[in-house]
Structure 1
Amino acid sequence: MTNQQLNEIFLRAIPFFESLKGVRGIPFISTYPVNSCESTSAMLAAILQKLDHQLDVLVVKGTQASGYGMHFWVEANGCVLDPTAHQFPEYNAPIFAMHPSPLEKVFSHTELFTPEQALTQCDEEMGFPRDLANRLVSKFLTHAYS
């Protein structure tokens, strides 16, 4: 998958996440982009992986040095895809950029997760059911590529 294709998918995913804003029964994404970085990043990574099984795609969990604040984004092909960067006042839009993430300066302690690990973590730690996440991923793929 080329970086241009990654960007095209990313640009299709943002309105999809926006369309889920305010939808009841979808934890965290209903407040998109605020407090939805983990779930949207996990789903975006799953979308990318389904579109290209050979793509090395990871979800990054960045934590502040203080240990209090955290943020999630996706990395693939040396690109950063951050669907919720605009929840922070210094960014007015989601971020698609070359690695490293500009937010890595603030969230400097990082952990990496595969899309599967990220979806499992959302389910186990946040109560965002994996089957719901998979249905939303399928819904995006069906509508964006039909």
Structure 2
Amino acid sequence: MKFLNTLATPAIEQLAIAEYLKHDGYDFHLRRMRKQYAQQASLMSAMVRRFFPEGTRLSQPQGGYVLWVELPRQVDAMKLYGLALAQRITVGPGHMFSASGDYRHFIRLNYSYPWSRQIEDALKVLGRLAAECAGG
């Protein structure tokens, strides 16, 4: 689309990107982001283990920036989604990521944002809501 609008990309931008790639800037960036995501995944996993109901299980991501959370079977992820949304917390209900509608007691949590007290507080609330949905 940009090419269609301008017919070219400015040479200075191309040179800056070439220099960045030439001097390992991209590799450095990737290493830094992988380390950051691993730390954030670890923090989020610890919070889920601490505040979510018994029987909750977690994925061990080897890449990306989402954590799959398997809740106790009696938890309806869509109900949890609605309750969380009312608290201004968003999660990805598991069935949204399944062509067959499976994973109805799973949620997906994004840990790509820099860790903050707000995220920590949201996980505490989400854990409490999940426990309520589980009947506890």
- Asked if these proteins are the same fold (TM beyond 0.5), I'd say no
Higher helix share goes to which structure?
A: 2
Bigger radius of gyration, 1 or 2? Answer: 2
TM-score by length of 1: 0.27
TM-score by length of 2: 0.29
